[in-house]
Structure formats: structure tokens, C-alpha cells
Chains A and B, each alone.
Chain A
Amino acid sequence: MSQLNRLARGGRIDRSRRLSFTFNGKRYQGHAGDTLASALLANGVDIVNRSFKYSRPRGIVAAGAEEPNAVVQLGKTEAGQVPNVRATQQALFDGLEARSTNGWPNVQRDLMSLVGKLGGQFMPPGFYYKTFMAPASLWMTYEKYIRKSAGLGRSPMENDPDIYDHLHQHCDVLVIGAGPAGLTAALAAARSGARVILVDEQEEMGGSLLDTRELLDDKPADQWVTEALKELAGLDNVTLLPRTTANGYHDHHFVTLHERRTEHLAETAPLKDGRRQVRSRMHRVRAGRVVLATGAHERPLVYGNNDVPGNLLAGAVSTYVRRYGVVPGKRLVLSTSNDHAYRAALDWLESGREVVAIADVRANPDGELVEQARAQGIRIIEGAAVIEAKGDSRVSGARVAKVDLDGFRVAGAVETLDCDTIASSGGYSPVIHLASHTGARPTWRDDILGFVPTLVKGVSAAGGAQGVYATAEVLADGVEAGRQAATEAGLPAASVSLPRVAARRDGTACALYQVPHEKPTLRGPKQFVDLQNDVTAAGIEVATREGFESIEHVKRYTAMGFGTDQGKLGNINGMAIAARLLGRSIPEVGTTVFRPNYTPVTFGAIVGRHCRELFDPERYTAMHQWHVEHGAEFEEVGQWKRPWYFPRQVNGKTETMHEAVARECRAVREAVGILDASTLGKIDIQGPDAREFLGRVYTNKWAQLAPGRVRYGLMCKDDGMVFDDGTTSCLGANHFLMTTTTGGAAGVLEWLELWHQTEWPELDVYFTSVTDHWATMTVTGPEARKLMAEITDIDLDKEAFKFMDWREGTVAGVPARVFRISFTGELAYEINVQANYALHVWETLFAHGDKYGLTPYGTETMHVLRAEKGFIIAGQETDGSVTPEDLGMHWAVGYDKPFSWIGQRALTRPDTARTDRKQLVGLKPRDAKVVLEEGAQIVFDPNHAIPMPMVGHVTSSYYSPTLDSGFALAVVKGGQQKMGETVYLPMADGQVHEAEIVSPIFLDPKGERQNV
């Protein structure tokens, strides 16, 4: 297939390497060095998409990140689908498959375009808000329809086979953009010895120097680029990142860079040296200083039907001709407000095709490029502009007329020129997106007709990014920025000798945004401002007429600058139009805020390696493998994986959770069970004031606790609300071991440090986490003592080793501390050994435990057993609004302690002291088979009109095999005074459960079972 727009020579493509690709199912040829866009243009593909709202045919407009139309879906395979790719940024590779994201049944014949033809009356700005908001219940239906017709691309439905990752980078100077300013900035900083990262979003570094007509040191500019890059690549202190977009500028010079490492090679990353390689990588850069050398985007002019394929940016025309050897048409009309755009006409002419005319809105253009065009015999129509493009699926002509900008009207006869391409240029907009991410509002400059970035400390801009456009000045500006950054980093300034660039005299540019038409804007042909979001000049006019005066409101009402486009081409034109309509200046109207990301970033790069089995840390105890091998189902408690229950095979069938838990519960109540309790937080507390400190952070008393004894404690915040609990053992007079809940471990340690460091630094005490050092196993049940006796040298006599004592000795030959504390209500020994020995101790227990019926149990059984005893779990019975008194734990509150401990004062505040607060109670369902839902709301009167006053909720609820009944813990208003009363739990399905308020202690209220 012939590439009808490909030039015989020129450009930076490799004509010896042919690549074949498909677009919308049709096969084409391109060359190595092409982008998808340049290859499509080479093949004469005019229509690349249908527009978002009006479904109008759209072609390629730009040559870089600012492309609004050619946003395609890539991917041959389902797993390889990538939406939102700009064809101008996608390097061509052999076998590439791309599709338009919009247009049904296809982009050539689109049924939706009827809507586009009918046009504005049908879909005015705010269309979605006005049409689809009522009834709200139908929004879901509307949304499906809108998405389908808008065709915003789609995500793959299969797992991505590629790998992605992050790299944490640190540098003295980050230079963003490797055009003339970025290259000299990097050279200046690098020669000073600074750690430099130079990043550029394009396939090749060099920016505008890759397609300029100018010579550097009398040689083609790209030769200088090659030399500069060679020097930079040879320096150890420089990291070059091509194909990498600086997408977000975050706080304190933290910049995220999205590097596409294999996207130019194939759909999925090819193997490298037999190993998988990273497809794209997020560099998380902490920079000392940043040089923004992001250049400028050319502004298109806003004229009638300026969206018909064949309307391009002037600079894009030059880039396609000079860099890719592609001339995207036969007959060109250029419409411009400045000299620089004349390059397009000169490049076009040199490629051997016809330049019909240049419409220059200025009265007397006289710069050097203008003179060159005149000398080439190009017709220049002065004081004029293209007011409307003719054509449907491709430009077929340009209507040109003299315009009176002050009166905003067409000032002369309209001439229709026969052409297939219209290039336009309304000047340049510095790329200020990244600077905007820092929160700094940009500043308008009349002399360059653009916003320049306002720079926070440590950031500088160079070249086009701050409105410096002449090549010689851009190169010098870069050196200055690079040198300054290096100096600020404390490094000596280095010299960079600049290449010679012939000075060029440019005429003054003229401010032109929307071009007047013979008809008023609302009745004339559509004049597009934001091509990607289908926002027209008329739309902005309607918005201002409807009273939207703030540019931020205009943006939201019209969708201008939304989404992945972020207003790269349209924002300044839109603001200028709003300003004219509102009778204000552009700086008065101001600009909207550009947000990250600059261009779309694949989720893979954002996620990096933090996915699948590395999504989140899984914390394991020393016995984890045993649990796995014994069929445990696991529950996530924080990041810990804890055995939930251990289902067994019974008669060839795996037990249900209900069956397994019932069996485990019975084992503990009737024989002996074992729980891996290693996940409990453990804090080693040492120091002469340790005891005093405990008295201040726990609600109960610690003054008398003797070495060898253990005590349960509640911790409150200073608002009097319980936030953690656990046992603390006195190891020595000045030495305690505190345990915390599994989830609370890190928080409690930080809490202790907070009080010690900020309020009570005079207390001599140290806290150190020993959670991971100890493995903890709870052996509990009536047979526990017999089992323990077989493998420990500790005297287990019930008088020598009482409930709430701890002793040290050996268990299974391993040094151990054993604690007689019980969370099950049964006789229990909690064994602590150094974790490296834990598996041996655990297995030894099983070797001896078989004859006693030793049964491993998990967290579910632990919950049932503790709830039967009315033992709370901080975070389940409590939620930050529950006091010790609400829990009925008056016994654990030391009101007469000398120091006003954390939480004490709040307990006497009127609201905290109310007697009708939600209080912990037990609930006994009237129907024993019912297991109430945790979280279910409780009412006193089920016949009350909705909304019923809700008086509490279920905090824990289980089936108890011991009671052979469902039972629950709950908080109920004034519940402690309502024993025996009935409450109701209306459920979503219409059922209403009845339950009796009872004591939260369902089993062995005197504690005789644990105290044996």
C-alpha cells in the first residue's frame, strides 16, 4: 500500500525499515521512527475519530501531547487493550493495532453524526445537566448510553500480562523537557557536578531542534543535539529519561515521571536476555530544584468548522514535513497572527506541494520569514484570516476575508480558496501545566500574549515555558536556568559555550483568538475551542449569557479543558472569548487550574509492583506454615493473616465454618484447644517510673502489682473513650510487659511515646516493641494443665501458679514465659517463647496433646468463646464513643488514683456521665435459632412510624454450641437498667427479630472455670 503523503526524502525516519500496522482493521505501512499519527497522515487517513458530543469527523491536528482528536484504543489482544493513547505520542511498531474509540458503526459512517448535524440546538452546553438529571434514578441508564455514544475507550477485560514498577529517584536538578532550553540547562547543571535528571516525553530528545529550519554553528540543529546528548550520556551524574512524561508536580518538588520503556517496541513487553522487562515505570523524583523547559503549545485559531479533518496547527505541519517526511495534504492555506507560523508554508512549499495563500491578520507583516515567503512567490493576504473551512470529511476550501478585530466583524468580501489543508496559528501558550500543579496561579503577559508560570521557590522556567521563543535566546535561557539551579545546590557555576544561531528579525504578533464570521457566533458554523470536549465559541457565549461569569464555572458548564485534554489547545482561546464577551481583560478573567496528570498514565505504572500477591504486606507468625498445612482458613486482622478456623475432612467432606467452629468451641470447653496468639502487640517497658506511667495511661490501678502478677487494663483517650485493652505483666519492680490488641499494637506504642515525649518527659521510662520477638500460643481448656505438665518444668500447682500469675521456665526444652491469663473463660496458659523456636514448641504440644484432644482453633472460635464470657474486643464492642462505664467495667476504673489519668476528667462531663448512654448488654434472641446480624440496629418500639428511634446496635453475634443458641453483645441506650426487657431488630427483608436484654456474661459468671 502506498504512503501517498510520504516524501521521497527527508525526516528522521528510517525508510529501510518498513513497519506494518492496522487502524480500524485496515492494514497500512509506515517506517521506523514514525508515530502512529505520522504514519496515518502518510497514508492519507483523514478521519481518526468521531467527536465526543456531536460525533463530527475528526482528523489529526497536532504532533505532540496536545493532540485533542487522535486519541485511540491500542491493542491486538484483549489483555493488551490500552485506552486514551494519543496517536501523536505512540511510536509505530510492527504489528501495532489501533482503533478509533468513537463512532458507531464506524468512523466513516457514523449514525450519531445526525445529532452533530442538527447541532447546537440539540445539545447546548450544560446539556447533560439539563437533560439527564431528572429523575435521578435513571442516571445509571443515561450514563450507559452516554458512555457508549461518547466512546471514551475501554479498559481490558483480562489481566495485564506485563510488569510495572516504581523507582525512587533523588537529584539536585530535575530538568523537564529536552528541547534547546532543557538541553543547555542540563549541560550547565551537569558540568557543575550536580545530580541531574533530564526527562523528555518524546521518542527522541531535542524538541524543536529536531524540526527547526535554523542552523546551529552552521550545521543542522540535530547534529548539535546529538553532541549534547552524547556528552550528557557520558556523565555519571546524569540520568537521561526519554519517552518519559513528567505528569504531576506535587509538594516540595516531588515529581512523578511516567516512563514508557517498551511501548515503542510491542504491545506487550518483549523478553530481554530471557527475562521479563518492565513495561512502564513510575519514577518518584524528589528534586532539589526543578527547571521547567516544557516549551510552548501553538494555539489554533477559532474559526468556522475548524474541526474538519485537514485543519492542523501550523507547527504540526512543519513537524510532519521535517521530522517525519510526511506532507499531510496537497494545497495549503495558512491563517496566522505571527511570523513563526510562516515556517509551515515554507516547509510545505519545499516539499513540492502548493501553498495557495497565507492569510495574515496583521496589516503590514514584514518579518524575515514573511519576506522569505514573499520571495518564494507565496500569495499573502494581509489583514485577513480564514473565517470558515469548507468540506465535510476533509477540508475542500477556505473562506478568507479581511477582518476588523476591534469591531469583531468581517470587514470585506469573502474569497473562497480551493485547498485541502488549513494550517492555523494564533501564537503560543507556554506549557504551564506543571507549574500550575504546585498551586501557583500563572501570570498573563501582554507582550507574549500568554500566561507564564508563577514559580515557587526552587523552580525556574526556561525557554518557551516562559515565553522566550527565539532559538538563540532559548539556548541562553537554558544555560542560565541550569547554572542557577547548580549554584543554588551549592555547586560552582560551569561554563557552557552556546552554538551560533543566525539572528532573525520577527515582526510583532497580533492578538487573535476567535475569528469573526459574517454571522453571529450563535448562528454561524461551529467554531471549536476545545476539540476533545466539543466546546464551541457559541457554547461559551451561551454560558456567559446564562450568567456563568467565573472562568471556573464556565469550564464546568461547558466541560472546557476537562479530562485527559486538560485544556492544552483550547483553554487560552476559551478564556479570551469569555473575556471579550464579559468585557474584561484576560488576566481579569484568569485561568482555570491545570491538574495532574498532564497526559494519561496507565494504572499499571501507578500501581507498580504493589499488585497481586504483593498488593499489601501479609504478616505471618512463626507457625504460619503449620496453619497452612493443617488446612486453616485465614482471616485478615490488620495485615496479619490469622487462622480463622481449621475445617476438617469428615466423611470425605470438608466441614463448614459453622461445623468447624462448633467443634473447636466444644474442644476448648470440654478438653483443650490451642490458639496462635503471636499477633498480639507486646511492648517491653523499663524504667523506675514505668509503674507510674502505667497508672496514668490505664484506667485502673498499677501501684500494687507485684512481680510475677498480671493485670488486665483499659486504655482511654482523654475524651474518656476506650481505645485499647490488654494485659500487662509485672516482670520486675521497674519492668513490665504490656500486651495490646493485634490491630492496636503500633498505635498504642505511638500513644505511649506521645505522652512520654510531649507531656511527661520527666518520667524515666522506655518503651520498646517486642511483638515479633515472642511467639505466643494459648493452651486452654480443662485438660490444659495435664498437657502442660508433660512438657514444662514450671510448677503448675494451682496454688503455686495462680490465675493472673506468670512464671518462667522451659516448655518443650525452650526458655519460656508462661502467663495464666484467659480470654476463653477456661483454664489457660499463654506460652511465650522466642519466635525462632516457636514451631518446635507448637509441634511438641501436638505430639503430647493428641491424647487430650488438643484442637487448634482460630479467631472465630476465639470470638465465640470470649463473647460467651462477655469479654470485649476493643474496636468491636467499642468504636471511639464508648466509656469504661458504658461497658459495665466500673471495676476496671480507679477513680481514686492520685494522678488524673488519661480519660478520667472526661468521665464526669455531663454527656459522658449520662445514664441513658448506649451501654453494653447481652442479647438473647427469643428464637434460639436466630443469630442476629452484627451491626443490626435496635429499637424499643417496632410499631413506631419510620424513621424509628434507634437505640443501639449489635456489636458481636454468634451461635454458641455450649448454650445451643444464638447470642449477642450489643450497646443499648440505658441498657444496664433494662435487664429482662425486650428489644426489636427490624431487618432489611421485613423480618423483625425479638431479643431479651440480659447480662453480657452468658457463661460461668463467677469465673470458676478459669480459676482452677
Chain B
Amino acid sequence: MSNVATFDTRTEAKIPVESPLAYSYRRSGAPAPTGKSRVVLRERPFLGHLILRGGAIVLDEAVREVLGVSLPGEPQGLVQDADGERSVQWLSPDEWLVIVPGGEEFTLENRLREALGDAHFAISNASGGQTLVELEGEAARELLMKSVIYDVHPSQFPVGKGVTTVFAKTTVILRRPDELRWELVVRRSFADYTYRWLLDAGDEYGIGVKG
């Protein structure tokens, strides 16, 4: 075995999968969006989530080479590739979250490991442990104000920013990839609580859930 054991936890075999919110949809339902829905929720399940640890300078080069985007070096930075399918987010001075289309994560990990060689770094796969939830609509910001303690005013939370913060009585990673959308990266075990909270707090805005 090598110094680090890589392991593709995903399979191409036809195996039924369950997103962290699968149980929640069955239990709490998923109200369809209507014309009156001022906020719409959509899960983007089964994406590849990697946690990158290491020095910014070391990682930046490898990430640019492999992903084609530069590592956000500034705190709270979030960068995406041209089509917005792949993103890298600053979590800490030595920690980044990379989200890519599902199935790319293991190849990406291997290519990064190759590019990084003997440098001191770590890559951990978190794809089964979290899911991405999008909020869209004119009331999305107010819904977030009910839920997170962080200031979501556009002057403080411009596009291209992401933070880890308190959401109700749990935590989320909150990101703003573009003018219209907010993204919440939610831990699997807290996903049902987060979902039920959003439905409850969003009821006032006629929240709908996009399949």
C-alpha cells in the first residue's frame, strides 16, 4: 500500500442511491413550486465533494493545472469554472471545499495527488456526507435571515462569497454562486432538520421544491 490509501467509494454499477434528503421528501413531502412561490428549493444531490488541506501556494498550482481555476486565496472566496459546474471554496487558511459533477471526484483526487507529489497535503472525500441545496427567488434572502446568523445583505455577501456559519441550531456552508442563487452545503445527518426548517420558515413565502 502506498502512504495514503485512496478509495473510490462510488460505483458505476446500477445500485440504488439515496440522497441525504430522500427520506425527507417521503416524510415531509415536497410542495411543487407555484406562480406564487417567492422562494424555490432544489437539491443538487450526488455531486463530488472533496476537502482539500494544505498550503495555499502548493495547492493553487495543482488546482489550476487540474481544474483550470485558481484556488481562492482570500478568506470566504468562492470560484467556479466557466460553466459553473465545478467550484472551489475557501473554508480555512489551509482548507478548501471542491465540488464537481458526481463521478469526477475520484479522478480529480488522483490527478491532484499526482500533481502535488511529495508536498504535504490531504484530500478527503466527503461526497456521501453532504448535499447541496439551492435557494432561489425574491424571498430567498429573507428566508436566510430567519435561518442564519451571518449577514446576507448583498453589501456584505456579494456573489463569489461563501462562509461556514450557524443555521438554526446546526451549521451550514452558505455560498452565493451568482446573483439569483444561494447554495447551502448541508451535512447528511442534519439534512432532514435543515429541510424541515426551510419548509417551515419558507411557508410564509409559499416555498416550493423543485424535483
Contact = CB atoms under 8 A, between A and B. Distances in A.
B80 interface: no
B64 to A, nearest CB: 21
B187 to A, nearest CB: 5
A167 interface: yes
B19 A836 contact: yes
Contact of B193 (A618, A679, A772, A839): A618
A732 B3 contact: yes
Given A735-B3, A764-B120, A609 B201 contact: yes
Contact of A614 (B36, B126, B200): B200
B1 A733 contact: yes
Contacts of B146: 165-168, 609
A169 to B, nearest CB: 7
B125 A835 contact: no
A609 B197 contact: yes
A833 B127 CA distance: 11
B3 A734 contact: yes
Contacts, number: 179
A686 B4 contact: yes
B81 to A, nearest CB: 24
Nearest to B10: A834
A706 B171 CA distance: 36
Nearest to B53: A766
Interface in B48-64: 51, 53-54
A841 to B, nearest CB: 9
A270 B22 CA distance: 34
B7 A815 contact: yes
Contacts of B124: 684, 686, 768, 770, 773
Contacts of A275: 203-204, 206
A575 interface: no
Contacts of A840: 15-18
A620 B2 contact: no
Contact of B53 (A679, A732, A768): A768
Contact of A618 (B10, B127, B192): B192
B158 interface: no
Interface residues of A, number: 64
B120 A773 contact: no
Contact of B190 (A165, A168, A286, A617): A617
Contacts of A625: 23, 26-27
B82 interface: no
A734 B4 contact: yes
Interface in B120-153: 120-130, 142, 145-146, 148-151, 153
B9 interface: yes
Interface in B84-139: 94-95, 120-130
Contacts of A617: 168-170, 190, 193
B4 A732 contact: yes
B119 to A, nearest CB: 10
Interface string B175-187: 0000000000001
Interface of A: 165-170, 195, 273, 275-278, 284, 286, 609-610, 613-614, 616-622, 624-625, 640, 679, 684, 686-688, 707-708, 731-735, 764, 766, 768, 770-775, 808, 810, 812-815, 817, 833-840
Which 7 A-B pairs rank lowest in CB-CB distance, beginning with the nearest? A772-B129, A773-B129, A834-B128, A686-B122, A766-B122, A731-B5, A834-B9
Interface of B: 1-5, 7-11, 13, 15-20, 23, 26-27, 36, 45-46, 51, 53-54, 94-95, 120-130, 142, 145-146, 148-151, 153, 155-156, 168-170, 187-190, 192-193, 196-197, 200-201, 203-204, 206
Given A731-B1, A772-B126, A833-B9, 18 more contacts: A277-B204, A284-B149, A609-B201, A619-B189, A620-B189, A622-B18, A684-B122, A708-B1, A732-B1, A735-B5, A770-B129, A773-B126, A773-B127, A775-B128, A835-B20, A835-B129, A836-B17, A837-B128
22 contacts: A168-B148, A170-B156, A609-B201, A610-B169, A616-B169, A617-B168, A617-B190, A619-B190, A620-B23, A622-B188, A679-B189, A707-B1, A770-B129, A772-B187, A772-B188, A773-B128, A773-B130, A815-B9, A815-B10, A815-B11, A833-B9, A837-B18
